[in-house]
Amino acid sequence: MTGLFHSLWILISVRSESNTHRIWYRSTGLTGIPAYALAIDCNGSFAITKASDAKDLRENCKIIGGDLKFGGDISENINLDGVEEVRGDWRHNPLSDYRGKVGTLFNISSSTLKLVDGIFDLTGPNGLERLILPNLGNISESVSFDSMANLTHVDFTNLKYFRSLNLETPKLQEFKIDELKGFTRNYTGRIFISDGGSVESLDGLFKGPIAPANETQLPTITIQKIPNIKQLTLGWRSILSAHISGQLWYQHWSPPPIITLILGGPNSETVHIHELETREGIIGLERGSKTSNLSIGSFRSMNDMITDLRLPFHQVSDVAIRGDRMTSLELPKEAEQWNNVSISIWLVRKLRFESLVNAEGRQTWYWPNQTMSSFYIFGDVTTNFLSV
């Protein structure tokens, strides 16, 4: 009977995690063995465990209608050139357990991907080393790199929008992003970096003059460990809280970071931070060169490593400073306009408040001309310093 057929079309159903994908095969020989796949139903969700799975997708689907999941212990590079949109989640759920088991290192890349219209979640101690998605512009939901033990490079060059970001990447060397523009779906926005590895810049995340969706729901920034960064620029227009540390407080066995915090990006005229707290590794504050209105609600410097501190604020409501090694503290001329400010300074054993002028004859302390709410110093103070 087979000799009567020049070709035979066969419909095979392939079941993934949540959907059935129908693939048409064409048999070109008399034996009825499939020779090649013609098309894949791209509307469902897909699981990738090996390079050939990715090959089928990139050759047949520009748009994936459901989730894209990377499962198992992948041991091959995954290339998704050709895929432009994932309209569900992008997830990596490795089989490797949390006791340090890691398989072969591998990369995931796509030069064509532009949109992930869901959650972007890479989790667990696995072999993913490089994630290269340079043209991905929008992730509609949260982005999470959680316990990524071997990730060294992330290329998000053109990423402009996401909902929030969580970064825990102890081996990360580069996080490439030109400039974040805002947060999706009018979300308030949040960036939490528990371990930035050895990256040398994260300005692409923070330097832009991002405006909040509304003034009642403001974004937050928490950074706990960025030991190799020398300068961090915050240019967002309005921030609810920014807690910045170069290293975790208990990691004093390693050399401390030396980070200057620039308040105001290259295009930021106004920056307002309701609550700013700096800790280990932040050795200085500067005002951005284009920033004409820098206002802080509450400022706290809890850093026993800092030696010299100058407050560059146009306005501030509450100042609290602790610094066991601090030898100089400057209040700028703008301090004369600080209204109803509270200032508290303690545990500054090396700092003497003797004069408003330093040894070079430059005035380094300007008393507020307006009403002060409170002033507290626990340290060495002379009457000459208190004279106004």
> At residue 36, does pLDDT exceed 50?
no
Which alpha helices (H) appear in the chain, and where do they start and end? 51-60, 203-206, 383-386
Cα separation, 9 vs 333, in Å, equals: 82
pLDDT above 50: residue 38: no
pLDDT at 28: 41
pLDDT tens-digit readout, 224-234: 999 999 999 99
Q: Over range 243-247, report the average pLDDT.
A: 94
Residue 19 buriedness (CB in 10 A; 0-12 / 13-18 / 19+): middle
Contact between 105 and 125 under an 8 Å Cβ cutoff? The reply is no
Q: State residue 26's pLDDT score.
A: 40
Maximum mean pLDDT: which of 242-251, 260-269, 365-374: 260-269
- pLDDT value of position 75: 87
Backbone angles phi, psi at 277, to 5 degrees: -130, 130
How much of the chain, in percent, has pLDDT values that exceed 90? 67
Residue 125's pLDDT band (cuts 50, 70, 90)? low
Q: 311-342: buried (b, 16+ CB within 10 Å) or exposed (e) per residue?
A: bbbbbbbbbbbbbeebeebbbbebbeebeebb
Burial class (CB in 10 A: 0-12, 13-18, 19+), 366: middle
Q: Are 237 and 265 in contact (CB under 8 A)?
A: no
Per-residue pLDDT, 249:
60
Q: What is the mean pLDDT of residues 236-254?
A: 84
User: 195-241: per-residue pLDDT in tens?
Assistant: 999 999 999 999 999 988 777 789 999 999 999 999 999 999 999 99
**Is the confidence at residue 8, as pLDDT, over 70?**
no
> For the segment 307-334, what is each residue's pLDDT rounded down to a tens digit?
999 999 999 999 999 988 899 999 999 9
Confidence at 37, pLDDT banded by 50, 70, 90: very low
Q: Mean of the pLDDT values across residues 113-126?
A: 91
Share of the chain above pLDDT 70, in %: 85
Phi and psi (nearest 5°) for 186? 60, 25
For residue 33, what pLDDT band results from cuts at 50, 70 and 90? very low
- Least Cα distance to 47 among 16, 78, 80 occurs for 16
Q: What confidence score (pLDDT) does residue 39 get? A: 59
List C-alpha distances in Å: 111 to 91, 108, 262, 377, 382.
Answer: 18, 10, 33, 57, 65
Do the Cβ atoms of 127 and 102 come closer than 8 Å?
A: yes
Alpha helices in 101-246 (DSSP H): 203-206
pLDDT above 70 for 9: no
Residues 224/193, Cβ–Cβ less than 8 Å: yes
Q: Is 197 exposed, middle or buried (0-12, 13-18, 19+ CB in 10 A)?
A: buried
CA distance 115 to 117: 6
pLDDT at position 246 is 93
Q: What is the mean pLDDT of residues 131-156?
A: 96
pTM for this prediction:
0.87
Is 146 in a helix, a strand, or coil? Answer: strand
Q: What is the pLDDT of residue 183?
A: 92
What pLDDT digit, counting tens, does each position of 42-51 carry? 999 999 999 9
What DSSP character marks residue 256?
Answer: P
CA dihedral 290, 296, 301, 307 (to 10 degrees): 40
Q: What average pLDDT score do residues 180-207 get?
A: 93
- For the chain, the 3-state helix, strand and coil shares in percent, each to the nearest 5, are 5, 40, 50
CB 38 within 8 A of CB 26: yes
Average confidence (pLDDT) over 156-174: 97
Q: What is the mean pLDDT of residues 165-180?
A: 97
**Segment 48-70 mean pLDDT:** 94
Question: Are 295 and 317 within 8 A, CB to CB?
Answer: no
Mean pLDDT on 26-37: 41
